[in-house]
Structure 1
């Protein structure tokens, strides 16, 4: 497919000369005597590159460059008979692809425009592939929202998924830290290996090493259980101080000694940790090893609290409301102005997890023909929140029972099925039917 170019110059002779050269070389050329008309045609014609004079009536080439900065516009090559070194430097610093002085050397002009156009098409292709990857991975549904920090976070996850380096996820309770950890695992080269999740806060000091490093002759431990895959250590601040040196050595060398063992074993496990505490302050207080922190935070991801991205609250609530409505096989209620006001006025200390719970309460009340977001925020679990039908009550009970078993067994689904006395396939069917999200439960 032939490349296309906008040629913008108030000098008709030069404009025609450049157009003749480019057309003979196979380019699709559109010429303009001023920049403003070119801007109006930019979206419709979508050129691969822009060749623009610097000094023109109306909008200058440098002003055109500034106008298009930060957009997905094609690269701009500037040309001027009055060019000098300072102007060229300023143009490049402001984002120009290159700078040429008149009269231009034809082969050099063609070479620069060709490289610029190819770079633009590659960038567009990469952008389309990235958007498709987001769509296929469901990452835009896992981290739903239009807040700039959430959009940037989705891009960071795609970037970091390809590495094996440690990642530290920071965020308040309920912001979705385990969702992010699972996305990092699922989108990376380790997706076919295991993902182990450990909540350090639920393990007493006496059992931490047994669970994480294993016991000689009895248990592999989470590190070896996730060999080739990913180990997610939630609430890493609760990691016992005595075990931190052993965890540090495992990260640095890939070697671990199970409890009671005389020999060490190797493991290739990526570590992703999460915390809602200030680890730097814990280091200063002598409660967390500085060298372990430096190993864990090779890369950091920060999840903003819901109260700081209020423009996403209604979007998220309607999304959760639709999910819950599908689970209970009822129509989702529409939001009134009072509902929206209540959503935006609340501080959401429980973040996205709390928002989802409120959506479920609102849906159950709507099923009985009553309720509002405001009442859902204030009602107690034991009062007005009771399901209205036997089917709803059974579904609610099963959701609660399965969720508790998933938390108790830290996401190990074979153990969950055994504890509930049902088969793994039956468990999977119920999880799908009830709309349960394992990552949300553990997050």
Structure 2
């Protein structure tokens, strides 16, 4: 099949007659062909031409074909096909292991050589096309701006999101508080074929067993219910490890059957939802403790994404801080504060228990201080630590109070959970549920 744009090839061979013979063959086949007499010349030539494949002799003075291969970045360079009159099979195997596309012996069969070069060029163009498409998707979705970072973990996460967004598989997102679990869930939705449909986020810790069916399934003749209204879109179950047991059973039926039965209705209503869930607790431990249904977990974790805490991606801290400072400087209409050596030291010395969310808050506090003519990132971090224990909402205040009481009871009873539950005046199962919901580490308390 004729290409709209002819394939291009760089021929590298110190034998002038062989170079001319190969150029004649390739040009007759419709290729755009250039030649280089040595490996070092080929390296320089590749920087200035957009070759689809390189065809190189192995035995050459100066830089050999194998040395040329070693000097190329096989992840980005055009594929290299080696050609040699020396039938050295072990050398050919080693060359393939080192990244060569193929190995051809002289005298070569012209049709076989052209076939190998065409396949190599096809794969290279396809790889370039995929890379351009992926870059365009990043640009359109803003993934490279929303999921900031250049560490390997964040780069891999962006690629996984793009790959999973096009599928319908349930995804369970694991990560500590503040790592961006809902942000990832929204990215999976925004990049999916369901992007123009609703994104329904449910905080499982706040779901009431009593009003669940009326609110989510609807009431016959009165309301459609949130699940029905979101049909066609994405259902995001946040804090799924804190979901009440009775609600878990009802959610499982919806996920398995794709149907809901409105209160007072005789017939179920079909719903079509892609399920994405998130948790900051150990789901296997929650299953062992009877807090999370195993069958529900199996429905949710077809694919799992693990979000790294900020302390494990320290190379991204300076990049993130500069971005957030610029963002808040624009928001508050002030000049962006510079990051001093002292600021950088404070940023890198901090453990960031609140992860990216904490860093964002610190940067906003720094910008607000700059508007008043002072401040530093170190001072903003210290201020954040001072107010860590002050809850912003009534729910957080209750959670903080419960966390303190439960921690004291577990310590006082030396980890005996039945005794701790009795001291608190609650059942053992309720205590287990609260430990998971509040993110308590029992072992760390003892």
Return 5+ residue gaps in structure 2 as ranges. 397-446
Q: 1:225-266: CA deviations, max 9, x gaps?
A: 320000111111112233333323322331233456543221
Could you tell me which residue of structure 1 aligns to residue 207 of structure 2? 203
Could you tell me which residue of structure 1 aligns to residue 365 of structure 2? 361
Give the Cα separation in 2 of the matches to 1:159 and 1:188: 10
Whether 1:306 and 2:310 are equivalent positions in the alignment is yes
Superposed counterparts of 1:69-218, under 5 Å: 70-83=74-87, 88-218=92-222
Could you tell me which residue of structure 2 aligns to residue 330 of structure 1? 334
Q: 1:254-286: CA deviations, max 9, x gaps?
A: 123345654322110000001111112222333
Whether 1:286 and 2:290 are equivalent positions in the alignment is yes
Note if contact 1:358-1:377 (Cα within 8 Å) is conserved in structure 2. yes
Q: What SS does the corresponding residue of 2:86 show, helix, strand or coil? A: coil
Give the TM-score taking structure 2 as reference length.
0.79
Q: What SS does the corresponding residue of 2:236 show, helix, strand or coil? A: strand
Determine which of 263, 270, 274 is the counterpart of 1:266. Answer: 270
Alignment RMSD: 2.6
Q: 1:343-371: CA deviations, max 9, x gaps?
A: 11111111111111111111111111111
Determine which of 19, 22, 25 is the counterpart of 1:18. Answer: 22
Note if contact 1:222-1:231 (Cα within 8 Å) is conserved in structure 2. no
Return 5+ residue gaps in structure 1 as ranges. 384-399, 405-443
Could you tell me which residue of structure 1 aligns to residue 243 of structure 2? 239
Q: What SS does the corresponding residue of 2:292 show, helix, strand or coil? A: coil
Alpha carbons of structure 1 residues 83 and 262: separation in structure 2 relative to 1, 3 Å? farther
Q: 1:35-82: CA deviations, max 9, x gaps?
A: 233223322213110112234445443444444355211112222223
Note if contact 2:39-2:65 (Cα within 8 Å) is conserved in structure 1. yes
Give the Cα separation in 2 of the matches to 1:93 and 1:285: 49
Offset of 1:329 from its aligned partner? 1.3
Give the Cα separation in 1 of the matches to 2:71 and 2:299: 43
Alpha carbons of structure 1 residues 98 and 369: separation in structure 2 relative to 1, 3 Å? same
Q: 1:78-107: CA deviations, max 9, x gaps?
A: 222233665555544444333322211112
Q: What SS does the corresponding residue of 1:123 show, helix, strand or coil? A: helix
Note if contact 1:168-1:272 (Cα within 8 Å) is conserved in structure 2. yes
Whether 1:38 and 2:42 are equivalent positions in the alignment is yes
Give the Cα separation in 2 of the matches to 1:214 and 1:69: 58
Q: 1:357-414: CA deviations, max 9, x gaps?
A: 111111111111111111111126999xxxxxxxxxxxxxxxx99xx9xxxxxxxxxx
Q: 1:410-443: CA deviations, max 9, x gaps?
A: xxxxxxxxxxxxxxxxxxxxxxxxxxxxxxxxxx
Give the Cα separation in 1 of the matches to 2:74 and 2:238: 37
Give the Cα separation in 1 of the matches to 2:89 and 2:219: 69
Q: What SS does the corresponding residue of 2:374 show, helix, strand or coil? A: coil
- Quick check: 91-100 or 31-40, which moved more? 91-100
Give the TM-score taking structure 1 as reference length.
0.80
Alpha carbons of structure 1 residues 84 and 248: separation in structure 2 relative to 1, 3 Å? farther
Give the Cα separation in 1 of the matches to 2:65 and 2:373: 63
Q: What SS does the corresponding residue of 2:235 show, helix, strand or coil? A: strand
Q: 1:158-195: CA deviations, max 9, x gaps?
A: 11111111111111111111111111111111011111
Note if contact 2:234-2:276 (Cα within 8 Å) is conserved in structure 1. yes
Give the Cα separation in 2 of the matches to 1:227 and 1:92: 51
